[in-house]
Structure 1
């Protein structure tokens, strides 16, 4: 099956909400897709945030297809969590907490999935809990991912201003003629869109230094 066809695939299965369920399902509006992408746990939602923030990702497909294999005398089935279409090729992703990776059934499923995926020349990724600080930073910046919410003149002016080495909290002083709240929000959007960068391994604060994207 071609990547072009898979890029428009609908999720293989849909989820339901019910009282007492142990997982957290929902849909996330992706700036990459300009549409909603489903997730079935908070950990899957975290992976979606990282995918949506990744400038190499061009498409995100949830539960793209059903895989089957014959192992230990029985048919095994598996639906991967995400297919990421990137500028460096397709990446198939399974999301699973660290504590479950050593379970024999999980390890077996991911093993044959990896073999099948890599035999096609694709990349395969098993993704678990990320660094807590980076995740919190992305959760915050994701609130500024919708470009239509920001005045284009403020964005353009910030893009044309040399902010390299400027502290995040000092940016409104560089554009004193613009409303401070607009500038602060626009800077967060430019961090999300990679027009600006900062160290996301540390908590975002007013003292965080900005870097121009090269």
Structure 2
């Protein structure tokens, strides 16, 4: 169980925004202006049994993965964002997103073979920061194969210059890092890379092709192959359409790789996964 040592970390943070004397009064273990110490940040989760409230030191990534989203998709007439549900190959189920930018981050996470767990709108975080009660629902919690967790907030670059937005995104990162989680503010990726991911995501569902076919395409691979040359060689045994689908499936699965920062084509050079 991880011990919360956030007051010391938050003290350093608050000294940046309030001045050292104010930070010491509010966080460093002495009583605040109202005579109360800074309470430990609290996480609220939604489970099948109802809402659960725990101090953050008692919250594990596994507990978060077992919960349901704190917020779900809302559809309001005239809304400017585009929420929805994305079927994730990583989770084997649908993951909620609240904007197209969040959907793009979901694609990146789903494609990452090191990511083994994805929770969207995972919990409500409550803390006292600078003498004010704060509430925040992060966009994602990602769990990696090595057990590491990453809290992710998604926000367009144009919004990051707003001091209010920057402040709202900063303090959850302080709490996350103090808890041993990485923290990321994501604002997008290269357009060509995302376009390639969207295309490959069409091949993410398992079971659409026989396993023997994808194995045969892997066996047919030769160093220096392009998508076109591999498909041409493997087509001797199976229809070209199925072989190409298998090659693209292997790219999504990470068993083959190519430079996704260039537009995918039959001339895309391939490498076998290590």
* TM-score bracket, shorter-length normalisation: over 0.9
Partner Cα distance (1:172, 1:2) in 2: 45
Deviation at 1:171, TM superposition (A): 2.0
The alignment covers a number of residue pairs equal to 214
Within the candidate set 17, 24, 28, 2:75 is matched to 17
Partner Cα distance (2:168, 2:81) in 1: 21
Deviation track 1:133-187 (CA, whole Å, cap 9, x = no partner) reads 0000000000000121012221111122233211112222212121000000000
Within the candidate set 100, 112, 117, 2:171 is matched to 112
Structure-1 residue corresponding to 2:119: 61
Moved more, 153-162 or 94-103: 153-162
Structure-1 residue corresponding to 2:14: none
Counterpart secondary structure, 2:203: coil
Partner Cα distance (1:83, 1:72) in 2: 25
Structure-1 residue corresponding to 2:161: 102
CA contact (8 A) 1:7 1:61 kept: yes
Counterpart secondary structure, 1:143: helix
Structure-2 residue corresponding to 1:140: 199
Deviation at 1:18, TM superposition (A): 2.2
Counterpart secondary structure, 1:130: coil
Counterpart secondary structure, 1:85: strand
Counterpart secondary structure, 1:147: coil
1:80-99 equivalences in 2 (<5 Å): 80-88=138-146, 89-99=148-158
Mapped pair 1:185 → 2:245: yes
Structure-1 residue corresponding to 2:103: 45
Within the candidate set 123, 126, 137, 2:182 is matched to 123
CA contact (8 A) 1:64 1:83 kept: yes
Query: Which of the two has higher C-alpha Rg?
Result: 2
Mapped pair 1:78 → 2:136: yes
Within the candidate set 173, 182, 187, 2:232 is matched to 173
Structure-2 residue corresponding to 1:197: 257
RMSD: 1.1
Deviation at 1:8, TM superposition (A): 1.2
Partner Cα distance (2:175, 2:76) in 1: 34
Partner Cα distance (2:212, 2:155) in 1: 43
Partner Cα distance (2:191, 2:155) in 1: 16
Structure-1 residue corresponding to 2:217: 158
Taking structure 2 as the reference length, the TM-score comes to: 0.76
Taking structure 1 as the reference length, the TM-score comes to: 0.96
Deviation at 1:69, TM superposition (A): 2.1
